[in-house]
Amino acid sequence: MSDRIPVTVLSGSLGAGKTTLLNHLLTDAGDRDIAVLVNDMGDVNVDAELVAEGSDTDVAGGVEELSNGCICCELQDDLETAVVRLAQNREFDHLVVESSGISEPAPVARLFTTESAAAARYRVNGLVTVVDSRLFVDTFGGEGTPERTAAEEDDRPLSDLLVEQIEVSNAVVLNKADLCTADELDEAEALVAALQPDADTVRTSFSSVDPSWLLDVARFEEREVSDLPGWKRALAEVQSDHDGHDEAGHDSDHDDDHHHGHRHQDDVYGISSFTYRRRRPFHPERLAAVLRDLPAGVVRSKGTLWVAGNDLRQTVGQAGRSVRVEARGPWIASLPEIEQDLYRSNRPNLEWNEEHGDRRTEYVVIGTEFDEDALRTRFDDALVTDAEWERLDELPAGPFPTTNEEETALREPTPAAVE
């Protein structure tokens, strides 16, 4: 067994209960010697003070704090320095890193999985996300409450952050369960399973989690298809199905997505997903209208869109009422032939259509109690007509970005004050 120190990365939105969970872990640590590193965006690390004051036990490695920044981005170097310094004395047997409420756990985990001084001393044990169950249900269930941004320092909608933190986790703590009904908790678990099918889930109140469940189970492994977020796995499954068929026998506009890429995740709670695939471009304005008016039951959707009159791949990411689109490089088919040949020679597994090249739409939709057939029809109606395809250059550019890495918000949540 590795002699590297296991590290658990703890994430969750502001107020979800991360600090309370840390204090429970320290109080009920038993024979474990736990070191804690707490990150806070402010210049005064309130969470670190609460952990230090709330623990009845000595934290063997101390409570290390990183303030005035986010460890998933600007404090990466400081994070590495801090954890290496902690490990030099080897006075503890488990490190828990509590990231700020607006941090993404994946970049933090990468520090311990790539070649670095930190990775030489630590191994990732688990990526744990603490979820405010009441807020989660309100955000993604029915009309719910108005969404809001994660914090003043971060202009991302809260729904985006909630989804991203769940999608990269392998353990989810559904906290504040006492504020939800049993049916609401069942639905919350089903939604978590749709977003990250392989995450273990536990319900709790006041962040009271068994330390053995959280610390003693090694859940982290290098990502394979089975560990991917729900939307990525859906695309991988569709690609596998598609590769197993002769493309020459398919309608080049529609491929075979009415037969593949559609799976019901939990019929009891009405949660399902499907993958929309087409080799026909969208009319920019009609597509924007559909994305701005997605059904309330669509919790998460993501994928690549082929938009007429635009040589850049459009990547859409939707969570709750937030819909954002980013231009992510040119379609290879739009490049000069010599460059196309170079790209294709370096990417032997690239899906290539003789007529359209790599241009295509692959878009995964995950949600609860929405009419899939009606939504498919709306997307079909947003595709260019035969007449429009003959004059693509005359179509309006629409709201989609035309500069690489440019991002556009097609729909934002209703603003509301952070509690």
Digit-by-digit pLDDT tens for the chain (419 residues) are 568 899 999 988 878 898 889 888 888 888 888 888 876 533 333 344 444 444 444 444 455 554 434 444 444 567 788 888 888 866 788 999 887 665 667 778 888 888 788 888 898 899 999 999 998 888 886 544 445 444 444 555 667 778 888 888 889 999 999 999 999 999 899 888 888 888 899 999 999 999 999 999 888 875 543 454 554 555 555 455 554 443 333 344 655 444 444 444 444 456 788 899 999 999 999 999 999 999 988 888 989 999 998 999 999 998 888 899 999 999 999 999 999 999 999 888 888 999 999 999 999 898 887 899 999 999 999 999 999 999 888 888 899 999 999 999 998 876 543 33
Closest C-alpha to 28, from 208, 205, 218: 208
Structure tokens at 30: 């038993």
Which positions ≥6 away from 285 have C-beta within 8 Å?
396, 398
3-state secondary structure of 369: coil
In the block, tokens 């934002």 appear at: 412
pLDDT at residue number 243:
47
pLDDT at residue number 3:
82
Structural contact between residues 18 and 12, judged by C-beta atoms closer than 8 angstroms: yes
CB atoms within 10 A of CB 120: 11
Structure tokens at 241: 């199905």
Distance from C-alpha of 286 to C-alpha of 229, rounded to nearest angstrom: 29
Cβ burial, residue 101 (10 Å; 0-12/13-18/19+): buried
In the block, tokens 């529609």 appear at: 254
One-letter amino acid for residue 326 of the chain: E
Distance from C-alpha of 65 to C-alpha of 49, rounded to nearest angstrom: 9
What are the start-end ranges of the E strands in 289-338? 298-305, 312-319, 322-330
Closest C-alpha to 292, from 323, 249, 315: 323
Structural contact between residues 184 and 178, judged by C-beta atoms closer than 8 angstroms: no
CA 404 to chain centre: 22
- What is the widest separation between alpha-carbon atoms in the chain? 74
Domains delineated in the chain: 5-227 (3.40.50.300), 230-411 (3.30.1220.10)
Report the side by side order of strands in the sheet with 407-411: 262-266, 271-278, 361-368, 298-305, 312-319, 322-330, 407-411
Alpha helices in 273-385 (DSSP H): 284-292, 337-346, 372-382
3-state secondary structure of 31: coil
pLDDT at residue number 380:
97
- C-alpha distances in angstroms, 416 versus 146, 152, 157, 192? 6, 11, 11, 25
Structural contact between residues 270 and 295, judged by C-beta atoms closer than 8 angstroms: no
Which positions ≥6 away from 341 have C-beta within 8 Å?
none
